[in-house]
Amino acid sequence: MTSRERVLAHLEGRPVDQLPLMPITMMFACLQIGARYRDYCTDYRVLVEGQIRTAEKFGFDYVNTMSDPAREAADCGASVEYFDNQPVAIVENQALLADKTKLASLKIPDPLGGGRMHNGIQALALFQERVGKDKLIEGWIEGPIAEAADLRGINTLMMDFFDDPAFVRDLFAFVIELELRFAREQINAGADVIGLGDAAASLVGPQIYEEFVWPYEKKLVDGIHAMGGKVRLHICGNTRRILPGLGKLGCSIVDLDSMAPISEARQQMTPGQVLLGNLNPVAVLRNGDPAAVTAAIAQCHRDAGAPFIVGAGCEVPRDTPPDNLRALCAYAHTHQP
Amino acid sequence: MSDLKKLYEAVVSGDAKATQALTQQALAEGVDPLKLVNEQMVPAMDEVGRRFEANEYFVPELLISARAMKAALELIRPILTARGDKPVGRVAIGTVKGDLHDIGKNLVASLLEGGGFEVIDLGVNVPPEKFIASINEKQANIIAMSALLTTTMPAMKTTIDALKQAGVRSKVKVLIGGAPITQKYADEIGADGYSENAVGAVALAKRAVA
């Protein structure tokens, strides 16, 4: 069974030979090829090489294009800062939509227009060419609140929920259109799964999540399904209070950060929901030892039950000891769902 | 005569307009501004912090309450300064060099202000020299550093080393926090305190100046 077959079979409820393994790597993958992270973010060939080398070295079942949260925002014209050795970051004090009225004239950039989104799409095409027969290929988009925060400034957006809810809805609607266009081109380029990152959703409570965020996340998920794609949802941070909502989106995979008990996700979501996760990536994967990693992922597996995919909670930290990551991977390779 | 309890409620509910109006009214009536701070605003922000820890309030609620409190402080601070009243402590807070994340730092800054501290917010991507300048030029007695990434947290050690080099380390307490930070790391780099959450940071700061 190839890696790609393994993941797709597992998502469809068919038997597999071992647990699928899909930890998120960004800076760690770049380190495997000794490249600058600036190049990993801006040159799709570097990203592809880093992902493939990492997937092969550690036995991952997939590769992905996630490098930083600022692809779409940069193409919209947001002010971003590039660093040699860490992710591209939004410059919040120069937020593109610091002036709300600018939304009315903001154009959706062409994902194939030669910008950062296009670079991500080129990565997918190269993945398809190099490993498409063996590995699952995962693209990435930002979710409604994450992208809105990138365009408006996260501190300001948080207060907009109270100050101007109508503007928030207008901004989310813009983001949905932007992200669906980006997702479509990624699927056309060969993405089997679209990763959906909506980190800021863990900062709002269940009331704001259900009233504002969930409806737009649902539009995105439904839109991607209509294109024939699958969705892996990942919200960094503590999503414990919004687990029921995450479960109702209908995502193929719900990927939980370590603060959300995976046992509670299992109780609160439909029985067939594929859960991915979720040991503590810093305290255990980076700072622990192989035995601690094995114990932690075994506990995650017990708590999650089936269906389950092995992951790292959040991004594998750059300086994670390789033997610790090997321990995580070995668990997947030697266990059945 | 003002019902001062309404000021407490306005801060807790995040109503900046009401907070400002009630503060103006109370000051016009001759209420001691320090009484407003100590009996209404500090308890209000304590309650906001409690609700945040209890997962009743989240980041949006905390930010609008902090905004309401700042609206009042803008009216009160000039009076206290003119009178020579001193804050509980003076905290220079920032996200370390190379890191642009600031939501956590902003929450801590707001709660510190609500706790009676004067806060010098240095922003994000703060090099050690700026922390040092806040000690020499603004008499900060607490340095509070935040980092969200494992790749930027080494800047905390760099900053502490720079404080030592500049001969100002003994003048301040250094407190650190952020998602990848642990007590073990704080001990390793010689920080004076670590908090895993914003409310704990205020308690830590109060102990630091006691």
pLDDT digits (tens, 9 = 90+) for A268-325: 999 999 999 999 999 999 999 999 999 999 999 999 999 999 999 999 999 999 999 9
> Are the C-beta atoms of residues A257 and A238 closer than 8 Å to each other?
yes
Residue with tokens 């983001």: A175
Return the amino acid letter for A177. E
CA A235 to chain B, closest CA, distance in angstroms equals: 15
In Å, how far are A26, A28, A132, A193 from A49, measured between CA atoms?
A: 12, 12, 14, 19
Q: Is B136 on the interface with A (CB under 8 A)?
A: no
Residue A16 and residue A310: Cα distance in Å, rounded? 14
The CB density around residue B81, as the number of other CB atoms within 10 Å, is: 12
Collapse the DSSP code of B209 into the 3-class scheme (helix H, G, I; strand E, B; otherwise coil) and give the result: helix
Of the candidate CATH numbers 2.60.320.10, 1.10.1240.10, 3.90.950.10, 1.10.645.10, the domain formed by B5-83 belongs to 1.10.1240.10
B103 and A283: CB-CB below 8 Å? Answer: no
ipTM computed for the complex: 0.94
A86 and B152: CB-CB below 8 Å? Answer: yes
Q: pLDDT digits over A204-250, tens only?
A: 999 999 999 999 999 999 999 999 999 999 999 999 999 999 999 99
Task: Name residues whose C-beta falls within 8 Å of residue A61's C-beta, 6 or more positions apart in sequence.
Answer: A3, A4, A6, A7, A20, A21, A22, A55, A135, A136
Domain count, chain A: 1
Q: Give the chain A residue whose CA is nearest to the CA of B60.
A: A158
A291: domain CATH number? Answer: 3.20.20.210
Whole-angstrom distance between the N-terminal and C-terminal Cα of chain B? 35
- As a dihedral over the C-alpha atoms of residue A195, residue A38, residue A89, residue A223, rounded to 10 degrees, the angle is -20
What's the confidence (pLDDT) of residue B1? Answer: 60
Helices A165-189 and A214-226 pack at an angle, to 10 degrees, of 20
Q: Which residues of A touch B (CB under 8 A)?
A: 27, 81, 83, 85-86, 89-93, 154-155, 158-159, 161-162, 203-205, 208, 241, 282-283, 286-287, 317-319
Q: Give the chain B residue whose CA is nearest to the CA of A285.
A: B180
Residue B121 and residue A8: Cα distance in Å, rounded? 49
Residue A287 and residue A281: Cα distance in Å, rounded? 8
What is the span of the domain harbouring residue A233? 3-333
Give contacts of A85 with chain B, Cβ < 8 Å. 151
Q: Give the chain B residue whose CA is nearest to the CA of A284.
A: B180
The CB density around residue B9, as the number of other CB atoms within 10 Å, is: 16
**Which of A242, A257, A258, A282 best tests the B interface by mutation, with the highest count of B CBs <10 A?**
A282
Residue ranges in chain A assigned as alpha helix (H): 3-11, 27-32, 37-42, 44-58, 71-76, 116-131, 144-152, 154-163, 165-189, 206-208, 214-226, 243-247, 262-268, 290-304, 322-333
- As a dihedral over the C-alpha atoms of residue A247, residue A202, residue A152, residue B130, rounded to 10 degrees, the angle is -160
Strand partners for A138: A64, A193
Domains of chain B, by residue range, sit at 5-83, 90-209
Q: Give the chain B residue whose CA is nearest to the CA of A286.
A: B150
Residue B98 and residue A57: Cα distance in Å, rounded? 30
A203 and B100: CB-CB below 8 Å? Answer: no
Q: Is B18 on the interface with A (CB under 8 A)?
A: no
Helices B103-114 and A154-163 pack at an angle, to 10 degrees, of 60
Q: Give the chain B residue whose CA is nearest to the CA of A92.
A: B100
Residue A8 and residue A16: Cα distance in Å, rounded? 10
Global pTM reads: 0.93
pLDDT averaged over every residue in chain A: 97
**B residues 145-204 lying closer than 8 A (beta carbon) to A:** 149-152, 179-180, 182, 184
What's the confidence (pLDDT) of residue B205? Answer: 96
Which residue among B14, B103, B182 places its CB closest to the CB of A155? B103
Q: How far is CA A47 from the centre of its chain?
A: 15
CA B40 to chain A, closest CA, distance in angstroms equals: 23
Q: Give the chain A residue whose CA is nearest to the CA of B97.
A: A83
Which residue among B57, B150, B184 places its CB closest to the CB of A286? B150
- In CATH, the architecture of B90-209 is 3-Layer(aba) Sandwich (3.40)
pLDDT mean values, one per 10 residues, chain B (210 residues): 86 97 95 91 91 94 94 91 89 95 91 91 96 97 95 95 97 95 96 93 92
Residue A326 pLDDT > 90: yes
Residue A172 and residue A192: Cα distance in Å, rounded? 25
CA neighbor of A188 nearest in space, from A112, A254, A251: A112
Give contacts of A155 with chain B, Cβ < 8 Å. 63, 102-103, 106
Q: Is B75 on the interface with A (CB under 8 A)?
A: no
Task: Name residues whose C-beta falls within 8 Å of residue A60's C-beta, 6 or more positions apart in sequence.
Answer: A3, A21, A22, A23, A25, A54, A135, A329
Q: Is the peptide bond before A307 cis (omega within 30 degrees of 0)?
A: yes
Residue with tokens 């304590």: B46
- As a dihedral over the C-alpha atoms of residue A84, residue A88, residue A93, residue A96, rounded to 10 degrees, the angle is 140
Residue B10 and residue A119: Cα distance in Å, rounded? 49
What's the confidence (pLDDT) of residue A264? Answer: 98
H and E: helices and strands count for chain B: 10, 5
CA B37 to chain A, closest CA, distance in angstroms equals: 24
A208 and B58: CB-CB below 8 Å? Answer: yes
Residue A229 and residue B202: Cα distance in Å, rounded? 47
B150 and A318: CB-CB below 8 Å? Answer: yes
- Out of A172-176, A192-196, B2-6, least confident range: B2-6
Strand partners for A142: A197
- When pLDDT is averaged across residues A244-259 and rounded to a whole number, the result is 97
Q: pLDDT digits over A63-72, tens only?
A: 999 999 999 9
B150 and A83: CB-CB below 8 Å? Answer: no
A159 and B61: CB-CB below 8 Å? Answer: no
Longest C-alpha distance within chain A, in Å? Answer: 56
Residue with tokens 């998920």: A221
- Angle made by CA atoms A259, A260, A262, in degrees to the nearest 5: 125
